[in-house]
């Protein structure tokens, strides 16, 4: 068996692992990264990037369909548009290819050795990798587990045939005629809306009483309205049962207890993701767990000395930018820097139509801190830029302490609002007060002015409502 030794071994080259390895390499740490599939992980190959490519294509198609219908007041007319999903998916695959090659190049540039294969712990310092050319043993002083997550499977709706996960949904060759989506969370609604825009008849079956239960109800109302405009049927409080044998029918129990048969040529199951904690020898390490996740401290150290864990395998929120921030921090700790997790907020963006953004605490969470709070909310219907983009649905909301005006949370919903997550995140991270946001000049005309106006509203003198 071939053997190599290194200071740092990273298992998994998703956003957590590859960022950790690049930063460690930049800092002169002798680093090896093992990846069984492609560099970039879930995010670049079957997650964030391919889904956003498909969502963008669907948005563009929806726009031209709307123009062709003559319903838009812009004075533009054109013939009936069509979409060739095979070509769309090929374009998406080229983007994925560019990014995965880019990550491999960045790892190389940082001096990181890349090993392709499945890694399994032999003990706390040794890992065996099943490579194409045989077994490879890697000994390391420090090991980072960045194995990510996998889609949850429902026992009576196992993946296969017409029952698909997001991975297959992102590689379809044609738009399904009738798409049933089980789970109205992030993936179900992002992709459900995209397929509805591409012409599928979409139905969403969600177990809880409302869609996107992670966000407060007011934030999700504009999304529910858009779903209805797009002709998406949403069944909340509903439990998916099984597919009827030999028929394209999904059986589910509606909120009133009635059994419903839903015609569907594809059933997209998006009921969450589980951390990948099997198959890589977790049993050799006897790590402490936090529920289904690997337990970590504020430096991402596990219960075993010299072993760190980052990204989806360590808990919620299972988001790429959290994994990357943890990866960068751990690389610096391994290189001898003094670091610990001190982030004030992790932005969350749902790329539905309209998009939803949150950073920090919601109004309810803020109240639970015991502090008296002030809330300022500004509607996009009073924002000039939003009017010119036909994007008046939605608002920005700022939540602050009443005593010292420290901003505790910022939320928003609106078309294209994902780009405001940077401003929201910076405000929270830098400990902004309402006066800091209200006192910064926001360029006109932009949706960002809604952010300033929401802060002004909380201070009691919004200018444009």
Positions marked catalytic: 444
**How many Cα neighbours within 13 Å face the side chain of 329?**
21
User: Is 349 a binder of ligand NAD (CB under 6 A)?
Assistant: yes
> Residue 92 belongs to what H/E stretch?
helix 85-109
Tokens of 63: 């726009």
- Contact partner, 199, from ligand FAD, ligand NAD, none, Cβ < 5-8 Å per class: none
User: In angstroms, rounded to a whole number, what is the distance separating the alpha carbons of residues 54 and 262?
Assistant: 25
Q: Which does 96 bind (CB under 5 to 8 A by kind): ligand NAD, ligand FAD, none?
A: none
Give yes or no for residue 205 binding ligand NAD (CB under 6 A): yes
Which residue from 351, 380, 395, 451 is in contact with ligand NAD, where contact means CB under 6 A? 351
- Residue 95 or 406: the one with the smaller Cβ distance to ligand NAD is 95
Q: Which residues contact 362 (CB under 8 A, 6 or more apart)?
A: 215, 216, 399, 409, 411
CB of 3 to ligand FAD, least distance (A): 18
Identify which of residues 319 and 329 has a Cβ nearer to ligand FAD in the complex: 319
Closer of 239 and 242 to ligand NAD (Cβ):
239
Interface with ligand NAD, residue 242, by CB under 6 A: no
Q: At closest approach, how far in Å is the CB of 210 from ligand NAD?
A: 9
Tokens of 21: 């390895």
Enumerate long-range contacts of 86-91, CB under 8 Å, 24 or more apart: 86/173, 86/174, 88/54, 88/57, 89/54, 89/170, 89/171, 89/172, 89/173, 91/53, 91/57
Which among ligand FAD, ligand NAD, none contacts residue 35 (Cβ within 5 to 8 A by kind)?
Answer: ligand FAD
Q: What does the buried/exposed string (b/e) look like for 311-333 if buried means 16 or more CB atoms within 10 Å of the residue's CB?
A: bbbbbeebbbbbbbbbbbbbbbb
Contacted by 323, from ligand NAD, ligand FAD, none: CB < 5 to 8 Å by type: ligand FAD
Assess 420 for contact with ligand NAD (CB under 6 A).
no
User: What is the binding site for ligand FAD (CB under 6 A)?
Assistant: 11-17, 34-37, 41-43, 47-48, 51, 118-119, 146-149, 166, 187, 276, 280, 311-312, 318-321, 323, 351
Cα dist from 347 to 352, 361, 406, whole Å: 15, 11, 18
Longest CA–CA separation in the chain, Å: 72
Measure Cα distances from 233 to 179, 342, 352 in Å. 11, 42, 16
Integer Cα distance of 49 and 27 in angstroms? 28
N-term to C-term CA, the chain: 72
**Closer residue to ligand FAD (CB): 57 or 432:** 57
Q: Which of 28, 105, 306, 317 binds ligand NAD (CB under 6 A)?
A: 317
Q: Which is nearer to ligand FAD, 12 or 412 (CB)?
A: 12
Q: How far is the CB of 35 from ligand FAD (least distance, A)?
A: 5
Distance CA 62, CA 230 (A): 10
Task: State in angstroms the smallest separation of the CB of 169 from ligand FAD.
Answer: 8
Q: Which residues bind to ligand NAD, rule: CB under 6 A?
A: 154, 182-188, 190, 205-208, 213, 239-240, 270-273, 317-319, 349-351
């Amino acid at each position: 068996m071939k053997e190599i030794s290194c200071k740092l071994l990273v298992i998994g080259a998703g956003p957590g692992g590859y960022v950790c390895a690049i930063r460690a390499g930049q800092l002169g740490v002798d680093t090896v990264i093992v990846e069984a599939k492609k560099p970039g992980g879930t995010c670049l190959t079957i997650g964030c990037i391919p889904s956003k490519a498909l969502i963008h294509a669907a948005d563009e198609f929806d726009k031209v369909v709307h123009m062709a219908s003559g319903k838009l007041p812009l004075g533009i007319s054109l013939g009936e548009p069509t979409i060739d999903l095979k070509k769309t998916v090929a374009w998406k695959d080229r983007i994925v290819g560019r990014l995965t090659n880019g990550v491999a190049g960045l790892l190389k540039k940082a001096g990181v050795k890349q090993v392709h294969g499945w890694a399994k712990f032999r003990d706390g310092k040794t890992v065996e990798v099943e490579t194409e050319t045989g077994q490879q043993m890697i000994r390391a002083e420090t090991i980072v587990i960045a194995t990510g997550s996998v889609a949850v499977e429902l026992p009576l709706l196992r993946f296969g045939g017409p029952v698909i996960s997001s991975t297959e949904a992102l590689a379809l060759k044609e738009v399904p005629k009738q798409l049933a989506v089980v789970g109205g969370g992030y993936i179900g609604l992002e992709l459900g809306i995209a397929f509805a825009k591409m012409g599928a008849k979409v139905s969403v079956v969600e177990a809880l009483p409302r869609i996107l239960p992670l966000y407060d109800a007011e934030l999700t109302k504009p999304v529910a309205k858009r779903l209805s405009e797009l002709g998406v049927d949403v069944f909340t409080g509903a439990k998916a049962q099984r597919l009827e044998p030999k028929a394209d029918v999904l059986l589910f129990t509606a909120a009133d207890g009635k059994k419903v048969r839903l015609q569907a040529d594809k059933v997209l199951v998006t009921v969450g993701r589980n951390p990948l904690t099997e198959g890589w020898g977790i049993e050799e390490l006897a790590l402490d767990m936090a529920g289904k996740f690997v337990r970590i401290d504020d430096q991402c150290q596990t219960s075993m000395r010299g072993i760190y864990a980052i990204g989806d395998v360590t808990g919620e929120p299972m988001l790429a930018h959290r994994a990357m921030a943890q990866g960068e921090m751990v690389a610096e700790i391994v290189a001898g820097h003094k670091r610990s997790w001190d982030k004030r907020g992790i932005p969350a963006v749902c790329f539905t139509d309209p998009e939803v953004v949150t950073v920090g605490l919601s109004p309810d969470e803020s109240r639970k801190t015991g502090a008296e709070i002030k809330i300022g909310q500004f509607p996009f219907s009073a924002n000039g830029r939003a009017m010119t983009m036909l994007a008046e649905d939605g608002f920005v909301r700022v939540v602050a302490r009443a005593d010292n005006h420290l901003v505790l949370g910022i939320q928003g919903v609106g078309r294209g609002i994902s780009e405001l997550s940077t401003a929201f995140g910076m405000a929270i991270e830098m400990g902004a007060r309402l006066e800091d946001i209200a006192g910064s000049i926001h360029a006109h005309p932009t949706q960002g002015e809604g952010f300033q106006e929401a802060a002004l509203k909380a201070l009691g003198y919004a200018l444009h409502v």
